[in-house]
């Protein structure tokens, strides 16, 4: 590229406003290492490049847990702490709570009018959620993908960092955005695209999916000692009963993949070699791994401890984030009401 063109393209980039990233998480309580490696690290890496909106999806939590709301407020706070601990930067990104933005609910209602039921009924992710229900399917749960679409479109999100399981919801989001733009002859809505996380899923210590209910998770809020106490119980190659039985890293379903995720290349190779040669026992192997995991989590735990000392500051971060995202959502809704030719109430902002 000639220097003229290089300069022109930099200028272009400067003129274009950064794309909007929007994502959310249901407040299920404390987050674990799987959330961090699979989702939060990705969020953090997007911050320098994009205008990021990260939302606590407390209404979404109600779609399945409406009968147990006692922990909801505490979970919102704990999850926000874990985001901040992970490096989500409130000076750069906007952190907010869904239920503080009533415009999202209004958008949910309006979008529900233009969404054919069959789009929702055939959403495979929603089908999975319905299959796991112990109660009857509620109208609220059926609206899950429309609510999620409203989250994204209220702030005109272009890119949505999510796991594979959310891709089906996002297809509906694009269909709804397209249909709305077409029906009301506008180009207001972007077509939100998923940004998939590349990292492989981190298993729980027992080899099942990492999850709070399985009691197999390392939490970001755990102490170093708690981490070690958990890690030492992790499953290994089941054929290694005595220390001098040679092992096979490929059959070590948890500890070895953790090495691949957290350890240096040299340490990974050495673990594999000494495992095969029965030159190290599993407990020693886990001790070395523990150092790497602790190292990775150290800055997170320091930040978490700092923020946890000052709850008022965390509340302030959310309050300011809610104000900012609400102003954006109000502006979007104003344009939507106009595009739909709704009654222009002077009382509505």
Interface positions with ligand TRP (CB under 6 A): 22-26, 57, 60, 148, 151-152, 160, 162, 166
Tokens (6 digits) for 20: 């909007």
Least distance from ligand TRP to the Cβ atom of residue 117, Å: 20
Q: Which is nearer to ligand SF4, 153 or 218 (CB)?
A: 218
Least distance from ligand SF4 to the Cβ atom of residue 276, Å: 8
Token pair 């000076």: residue: 91
Residue 231 found at the interface with ligand SF4 (CB under 6 A) = no
Residues present in the chain in total: 349
Segments in 184-281 forming alpha helices (H): 224-231, 255-262, 265-276
Q: CA angle at residue 324 from 176 to 65, to 5 degrees?
A: 60
Binds 151, which of ligand SF4, ligand TRP, none (CB < 5 to 8 A, cut-off by type)?
ligand TRP
Cβ(29)–Cβ(197) under 8 Å? no
Rg, C-alpha atoms of the chain: 23
- In the Cβ-directed half-sphere of 212, how many Cα atoms lie within 13 Å? 11
Residue 293 found at the interface with ligand SF4 (CB under 6 A) = no
Q: Which is nearer to ligand SF4, 271 or 328 (CB)?
A: 271
Q: Which is nearer to ligand TRP, 123 or 237 (CB)?
A: 123
Q: Which is nearer to ligand TRP, 160 or 220 (CB)?
A: 160
Burial group, residue 263, by CB count within 10 angstroms (0-12, 13-18, 19+): buried
Return the percent helix, strand and coil in the chain, to nearest 5: 60, 10, 35
Binds 256, which of ligand TRP, ligand SF4, none (CB < 5 to 8 A, cut-off by type)?
ligand SF4
Residue 252 found at the interface with ligand SF4 (CB under 6 A) = yes
Q: Which is nearer to ligand SF4, 288 or 340 (CB)?
A: 288
Q: Measured between alpha carbons, how far is 53 from 59 in angstroms, rounded to an integer?
A: 17
Least distance from ligand TRP to the Cβ atom of residue 27, Å: 10
Least distance from ligand SF4 to the Cβ atom of residue 241, Å: 11
Least distance from ligand SF4 to the Cβ atom of residue 32, Å: 20
Token pair 């990260």: residue: 54
| Residues in 262-281 at the binding interface with ligand SF4, rule: CB under 6 A | 271, 275, 280
Tokens (6 digits) for 147: 């609510």
Binds 166, which of ligand SF4, ligand TRP, none (CB < 5 to 8 A, cut-off by type)?
ligand TRP
């Amino acid at each position: 590229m000639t220097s003229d063109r290089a300069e022109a393209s930099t200028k272009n980039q400067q003129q274009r406003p950064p794309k909007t990233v929007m994502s959310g998480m249901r407040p299920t309580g404390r987050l674990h290492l799987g959330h961090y490696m699979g989702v939060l690290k990705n969020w953090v890496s997007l911050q320098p490049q994009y205008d990021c909106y990260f939302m606590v999806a407390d209404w979404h939590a109600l779609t399945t847990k409406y009968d147990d709301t006692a922990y909801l407020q505490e979970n919102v706070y704990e999850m926000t702490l874990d985001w901040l601990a992970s490096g989500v930067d409130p000076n750069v990104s906007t952190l907010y709570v869904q239920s503080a933005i009533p415009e999202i609910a209004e958008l949910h209602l309006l979008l529900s009018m233009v969404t054919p039921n069959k789009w929702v009924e055939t959403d495979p992710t929603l089908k999975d959620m319905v299959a796991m229900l112990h109660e009857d399917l509620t109208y609220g749960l059926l609206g899950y993908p429309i609510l999620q679409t409203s989250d994204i479109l209220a702030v005109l999100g272009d890119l949505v960092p999510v796991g594979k399981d959310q891709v089906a919801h996002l297809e509906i989001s694009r269909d709804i955005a397209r249909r709305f733009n077409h029906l009301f002859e506008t180009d207001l809505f972007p077509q939100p695209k998923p940004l998939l996380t590349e990292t492989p899923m981190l298993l729980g210590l027992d080899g099942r999916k990492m999850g709070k209910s399985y009691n197999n998770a390392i939490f970001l809020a755990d102490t170093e000692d708690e981490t070690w106490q958990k890690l030492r119980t992790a499953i290994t190659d089941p054929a290694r009963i005595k220390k001098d039985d040679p092992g096979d890293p490929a059959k070590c379903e948890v500890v070895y993949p953790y090495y691949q995720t957290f350890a240096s290349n040299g340490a990974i190779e050495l673990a594999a070699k000494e495992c095969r040669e029965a030159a190290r026992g599993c407990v020693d192997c886990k001790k070395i791994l523990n150092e790497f995991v602790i190292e990775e989590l150290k800055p997170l735990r320091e930040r978490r401890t700092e923020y946890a000392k000052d709850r008022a500051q965390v509340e302030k971060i959310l309050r300011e984030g809610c104000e900012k995202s609400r102003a954006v959502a109000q502006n979007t809704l104003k344009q939507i009401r106009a595009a739909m030719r709704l009654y222009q109430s002077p009382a509505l902002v």
